Amino acid sequence: MSDPHEQTHIDSVGSYVKILLALLVATGVTTAVARLDLGAFNTVVALSIASVKMLLVALFFMHIRHSNKLTKLVVAGGLLWLAILLLLTMTDFATRGILGVPGK
């Protein structure tokens, strides 16, 4: 028997259909927006839409919304390490050439 507070949450079919429709619309929007010239914001918009889609999939389809705290912490920790990987690598590559190399 499971604890009362550990009971499985069963989402309705309707909520899953809504999430699917939102994901499909977002795919269409990101494809259409890519043709517009937004300057540097093209990348920002594309990645923002992708992040929203990721959140929808993770929270609803992957049930993070109903997961216990330990699972949520592990997922957040994973994303934190990914951010370190990307950001700290780019601090090198993005700033090369700002200062000259001594003796060169």
Footprint of another protein (CB under 8 A): 1-3, 6, 8, 10-11, 13, 16-17, 19-20, 23-24, 27-28, 30-31, 34-38, 42-43, 46-47, 49-50, 53-54, 57-58, 60-62, 67-68, 70-71, 74-75, 77-79, 81-82, 85-86, 89-90, 93-94
Q: Cβ–Cβ contacts within 10 Å for residue 60, how many?
A: 19
Going by C-alpha positions, the residue among 26, 30, 66 that lies closest to residue 46 is 30
Cα dihedral sign for 92, 98, 101, 102?
negative
Minimum separation from the CB atom of position 68 to another protein (A): 6
Minimum separation from the CB atom of position 104 to another protein (A): 20
Question: Which is nearer to another protein, 6 or 104 (by Cβ)?
Answer: 6
Which contacts of 4-10 are long-range, i.e. CB under 8 A and separated by 24 or more positions? Answer: 6/68, 8/66, 9/63, 9/65, 9/66
Q: How many CA atoms lie within 13 A of 65 on its CB side?
A: 13
Minimum separation from the CB atom of position 98 to another protein (A): 14
Question: Which is nearer to another protein, 70 or 99 (by Cβ)?
Answer: 70
